[in-house]
Amino acid sequence: MLLRLVRPRPLSGFIVLCAMLTLSACGSSDDVQSSAAVVPAPPADPGFVDSASIPPVPAFVDNAASNQRNDAHFATLDTNAGVRVVARFLDLWQPATMIVDAGATAPAVDGFPAVVASTCSGIVNSGTPCGTVLNAAVLGQNTQFVVNETVSRTQAQADAAYFDDRRNKGYSVTDGLGPLTSAWLGLTQQTTTITSVPANATTTLYNDAGNNTGVGSPNNTTFGTVVDFVNAMSTNGSTEPAKRFYKYARPFRWSSSVVVDPTLVPAESTTPATDGGFISGHTAEAMRDSLAMAYVVPQRFQELMSRAMELGENRIIAGMHSPLDVMGGRMLGLAVVAANLYNPANTSLKAAAYAQAQSALMSQTNTTNRTLYTFAHSGTASTDRFADYQTNQSNYLRRMTFGFSQIEATDAAPIVPKGAETLLETRFPYLSADQRRVVLKTTELPSGYPVMDDGEGWGRLNMFAAADGYGAFNGNVIVSMDASQGGFNASDTWRNPISGTGKLTVQGSGTLRLAGANTFSGGSQVSGGTLEADSTTAFGTGDVYLGAGTVVINAPGVVSVVGKYTQLANTTLELDVGANGQGSMKVGAQTTVVGGTLHVKFVNGFAPKVGDTLNLISGNGSNVKFSTIAVDGFNVTPIYTSSGVQVHLDS
């Protein structure tokens, strides 16, 4: 039902008298609810809380220090955690030796045999092959994707690829901070010497003489702890063990049709035996640095994740890496940061870095913990390349799979790696570690894509979607927010389409906004704080029970409550009324209001006039009586009928 203005009906003497005396409980005598109205019970408790069990395999977070080369202890798939994260590449390609041995040697130690350098030449179709193709279709598509990207790239894409190759990755990803970038660069004291694209590059690779992540402690008293933290998140993060184990060539060695960016031709290694393509080191580093920055500046979490994924694709556009290389780099980058966050040795560092980053950025931008988020998203398309949410979302999802089809079962159960929940600690400070694991579980990609079905679950994690909250309610989901702490504790928005049969319960004093196309059926109960509907299907298909706190209706159209709507005394229903039904509510089942406040605001320039009647709530309204009705800017007469609630704007 659309919000509409209707011609006011003649008011009975009884309604006029009510208008003179009070704004509550007015209507014709046969419209008013019985004083003995039966109040429905809250939505039923499902009786359990969802969880995401730890996979029964060796966990990277427990074994990250094994991600080494030139050490016989860690030279095999079984002993090297970094190699193991991307082990599903072995479905596609069989390396000639299952050892971290490309250009690597190590003496025998502690019963582990010596590592002897591989004879792999690194040249495709040479007399000393580096491995065997097991899935020609997927690997052929992998190379062809690079061909297509490199022959069709624009000059602007080539320039971006050049910068992301030559420039230090810690500096490159800072533009993911948008309006906070200049403040961040000033505080970290980051520099770069790669400021332009040469017509013909003749310099060597990695010649950025800048300082990458900036100046740490003790020489940077304002932001040094943050820089220390970003650096610490790359510990045990090398991609070299995987490169030297899998021994899979770069795409320009697989096909002469790959057109390497001319400015990067000097970067083509002259020692291909130690220059493996799988996995992408640039991508892994970009993911590590971006995740570390997102941890201390969660207000830009999705934009920083988008920047890391963009840098990965730029490696393909440059002709230096293939999609599978980039996908593997993403996976290892996630695992490395999670391991360092999970490490108890970093507990104090991560807390201090977060506090320092938030405090210093608020000081630099003249904001508070309630306004920093708004400032961080105050850019436009011309000033912030990641200002458009829909574009970021689409690109992130595309870059997770790069168009590969699912080649195995598509319905394998979701799995969440041990320690992965730490990646969301500052993004969802009001959720428990177990709840953050469920967020990851309910937002990850389906199974079946090449490389991504690793035993721990790193490949399927969708960090962009995870930053938008739960993807499904299974069981009882209790959210308790503390507005006094500011930031996401005070206000947050979940934009995912939430499915499932579970129930949402909101407690505390903060505001949780639901903005997705939701279908969850277990109902919503507000026991404190504010639950706001920012989409017409925010409440899914269940009941809405307002027992304490506030419900806000602020969707662009009529919000549907498919089940029952119940409101008790000492509560508030706020309707943010605009055009096209914004701020109104349609209840499919019984509407019961036994007190509380109805507060009507007018938004987005909507300006009704005296004499108008507004339809606010439609449905079975025979048991409705607000204690107070307040309409901004007007004195009103409420009109209760069996089909809903209206207000007449008197003056």
Instruction: Please check the confidence at residue 14 and state whether its pLDDT lies above 70.
Output: no
pLDDT digits over 167-219, tens only? Answer: 999 999 999 999 999 999 999 999 999 999 988 777 667 789 999 999 999 99
CATH of domain 60-408: 1.20.144.10
Instruction: Please check the confidence at residue 19 and state whether its pLDDT lies above 50.
Output: no
The pLDDT score that the predictor gives to residue 12 is 35
Instruction: Please check the confidence at residue 4 and state whether its pLDDT lies above 70.
Output: no
The pLDDT score that the predictor gives to residue 24 is 37
Cβ atoms of 646 and 613 within 8 Å: the answer is: yes
pLDDT digits over 543-601, tens only? Answer: 999 999 999 999 999 999 999 999 999 999 999 999 989 999 999 999 999 999 999 99
Q: What residue segments make up the domains of the chain, in order of their start?
A: 5-44+473-649, 60-408
Q: Indicate the DSSP class of residue 294.
A: H
Q: What percent of the chain has pLDDT over 90?
A: 89
The pLDDT score that the predictor gives to residue 127 is 76
The pLDDT score that the predictor gives to residue 36 is 58
Q: Give the mean model confidence (pLDDT) for residues 102-109.
A: 94
Quote the Cα angle for 567-571-574, to 5°: 85
The pLDDT score that the predictor gives to residue 249 is 96
DSSP per-residue string spanning 463-530: HHHHTT--SB--BEEEEEE-GGG-HHHHEEEE-S--BSS-EEEEEESSEEEE-S-----S-EEEEEEE
Cβ atoms of 166 and 207 within 8 Å: the answer is: yes
The pLDDT score that the predictor gives to residue 307 is 98
Instruction: Please check the confidence at residue 10 and state whether its pLDDT lies above 70.
Output: no
The pLDDT score that the predictor gives to residue 206 is 74
The pLDDT score that the predictor gives to residue 203 is 67
- The three-state secondary structure class of 167 is coil
pLDDT digits over 595-637, tens only? Answer: 999 999 999 999 999 999 999 999 987 799 999 999 999 999 9
Q: Mean pLDDT lowest for which of 8-12, 358-362, 469-473? A: 8-12
pLDDT digits over 287-331, tens only? Answer: 999 999 999 999 999 999 999 999 999 999 999 999 999 999 999
Instruction: Please check the confidence at residue 146 and state whether its pLDDT lies above 70.
Output: yes
Instruction: Please check the confidence at residue 115 and state whether its pLDDT lies above 50.
Output: yes
Residues 6+ apart with CB under 8 A from 624: 33, 591, 592, 593, 617, 640, 645
Instruction: Please check the confidence at residue 71 and state whether its pLDDT lies above 50.
Output: yes
The pLDDT score that the predictor gives to residue 204 is 66
pLDDT digits over 507-525, tens only? Answer: 999 999 999 999 999 999 9
From residue 487, how far is each of 10, 384, 501, 510, 564 by CA, in Å?
A: 49, 22, 30, 10, 32
Confidence bin at 352 (pLDDT 50/70/90) = very high
Confidence bin at 406 (pLDDT 50/70/90) = very high
Q: Give the mean model confidence (pLDDT) for residues 130-134.
A: 96
Long-range contacts of 491-496 (CB under 8 A, 24+ apart): 491/370, 491/373, 492/428, 492/430, 493/468, 493/469, 493/534, 494/468, 494/469, 494/470, 495/468, 495/469, 496/443, 496/465, 496/468, 496/469, 496/470, 496/471
CA distance 45 to 162: 56
